[in-house]
Amino acid sequence: MDGQAAIYPGTFDPITNGHLDIIERAVACFPRVIVAVSQNPGKAPLLSLEERIGLVKEAVAGLDRVEVDTFEGLLVDHAARRGVGVLVKGLRVASDFEYELQMAQMNRSLTGVETVFMVATPQWSFLSSSLVKEVARFGGDITSFVPSEVARRMKEKFRGEA
């Protein structure tokens, strides 16, 4: 078991400043953080898996001790494959907690993996990938909510659609 690492999983469609904030704070708590990009075809992501991974890698390029990988299927199986016993999740609002609590309990029942919750910095507590996509789709300015490369990519993606 790699007692040194924690996995921060998500769809990252796309990565936002809220995700980045959690990653930076997780790195301060764990010797290594693995950002695991879920393939998640069930959610029909806007961005391809390769695009999502590329944007996450670009966003964390300046951070030491952060690795980016990907998984399909159950998160607990991926954690077991990587020999990691701790998951990190971010909580923004009370409704996040209800869903995350259920997932944390299910995941722990399946393999014993622990979940550590980090509360969102208030500045980002309203932020979600879905809202960022909606604002970008209709031509709104998302530059203060996402890394610059994400803003550029989203603009390109929705060009002509608004």
Catalytic residue IDs: 19, 43, 92, 129
One-character DSSP codes across 24-38: HHHHHHSSEEEEEEE
In the complex, the smallest distance separating the C-beta of residue 160 from ligand PNS, rounded to whole angstroms, is 27
Residues 25-44 within binding reach of ligand PNS (CB under 6 A): 38, 40
Q: Of the listed pieces 47-55, 100-108, 130-138, 139-147, which binds ligand PNS according to CB under 6 A?
A: 100-108
Would you call 21 helix, strand, or coil by DSSP?
helix
Which residue type, as a one-letter code, is found at position 125? S
The conformation of residue 141, written as its DSSP 8-state character, comes to -
Contact 41, 62 (CB under 8 A): no
Q: Among residues 30, 2, 11, which one has the least CA distance to residue 116?
A: 30
10 touches ligand PNS (CB under 6 A): yes
Q: Of the listed pieces 4-12, 22-30, 144-152, 153-161, which binds ligand PNS according to CB under 6 A?
A: 4-12
Q: Binding-site residue total for ligand PNS (CB under 6 A)? A: 10
Q: Which residues bind ligand PNS (CB under 6 A)?
A: 9-11, 38, 40, 74-75, 103, 106-107
